[in-house]
Amino acid sequence: MGNGPEGIEKVVIIGSGPAGWSAAIYAARANLKPLVYEGTPKAEMIPLGQLAYTTEVENYPGFPFGNIRAFVESAVDDDRHYNLPPAPKGHEKNGQPHYAVQGVELMELMKQQALNFGTRVVGDDIIDVDFDGKPFKLQTGEGKTVQALTVIVATGARANYLGLPSEEQYKNRGVSACAVCDGALPRFRNKELVVVGGGDSAVEEATYLTNFASKVYLVHRRDELRASKIMQKRALDNPKIEMTWNTVVEECKGSDKDGLTAVVLKNVNDGKRRELPTAGMFAAIGHTPNTAFLNGKLATNDKGYLKLTTPFRTYTSVAGVFAAGDVADDYYRQAITSAGSGCMAALDAERYLAEHHG
């Protein structure tokens, strides 16, 4: 493998969310023949990124409500329709499907667009990096060493859990950090569920769960949501969502047979505790950037996100290594901002190559 001298890659992109694919599209169109390490479920990075776990994406420009399915099918090869979800029932207008693009569809489209321009994709992880000398050396999960003149890190972030020992005990048996992945499971149907958090994710997860649950308690540690106004309204207007303010989860309770059956809630103002029977608790309390594989070889900020060293550039602390998307962004964290920064990283890599290896 390798498209430069002596099998050295010009651009290796680590990550397969909107930042990774946008970087690949731009790098491929610049004839840099990028090599994308897509990640596997074994490692911390999520193949196709967090959008793979999202339902409707309503705010990605160019993807309004409409017959998106027909658009997706026209754009993606027949043999790659396998993981596109069917058009949701009941979402029709004038006899045509009428709904928003699904997260996984958006990622498949971006991937296809990158492939169309000659991007090469490997379904493996990068597990260690050596940025000390040039070319950079990347260790793959399968034990290979890949050499690269530039690297774009676009590994994203992953959902946090509360960190309670009892939470660990019931993970995948009632405790989850992804309503979209797990919410439709039979154990949660027509049951009372708990979502913890007060941001957009918490509201989104709670709203989604009302499709299956009899009731959703949105447990937030303060008396005001952090979520955007439109999302707040969605939660507050939903008759199936009950806000539980100034409250934290102290313990998860259950049994080997039934998994999670209750959570112990504590009111942070008066310290009073109560047990709330529930079949499911969904943590929606923010994210952690996927940087472990870098083993501290790039500088990070105090929250552990990759530090960008220059305003409006994707430069990291190592020249020739660029960062894009949520791995370097704890603030905007949108598909569109990730895609934009992926484009920026590819342009930065292209200019770096022209300057140093032209």
Which is nearer to ligand NAP, 32 or 227 (by Cβ)?
227
From 128, 130, 181, 330, the catalytic residue: 181
Which is nearer to ligand NAP, 196 or 323 (by Cβ)?
196
Closest distance to ligand NAP from the beta carbon of 225 (Å): 7
Closest distance to ligand NAP from the beta carbon of 343 (Å): 20
Q: Rule CB under 6 A: which residues touch ligand NAP?
A: 162, 196-202, 204, 221-222, 226, 248, 284-287, 333
Q: Which residue bears the tokens 């890659």?
A: 9
Known active-site residue 181: yes
Closest distance to ligand NAP from the beta carbon of 207 (Å): 10
Exposed e or buried b per residue across 244-262, where buried means at least 16 C-beta atoms within 10 angstroms of its C-beta: bbebbbeebbbeeeebbbb
The closest alpha carbon to 193, from 288, 259, 102, 266, belongs to 259
Known active-site residue 343: no
The closest alpha carbon to 333, from 199, 230, 150, 162, belongs to 199
| Separation of alpha carbons 345 and 167, rounded Å | 38
Tell me the pairing of strands 215-219 and 192-196. Answer: parallel
Known active-site residue 182: yes
From 124, 125, 182, 326, the catalytic residue: 182
The closest alpha carbon to 106, from 338, 285, 354, belongs to 338
- How wide is the angle at C-alpha 31 spanned by C-alphas 19 and 338, nearest 5°? 10
DSSP H or E stretch at residue 120: strand 120-122
From 124, 125, 178, 200, the catalytic residue: 178
Which is nearer to ligand NAP, 110 or 284 (by Cβ)?
284
Which is nearer to ligand NAP, 72 or 231 (by Cβ)?
231
Closest distance to ligand NAP from the beta carbon of 113 (Å): 23
Residues annotated as catalytic are: 178, 181-182
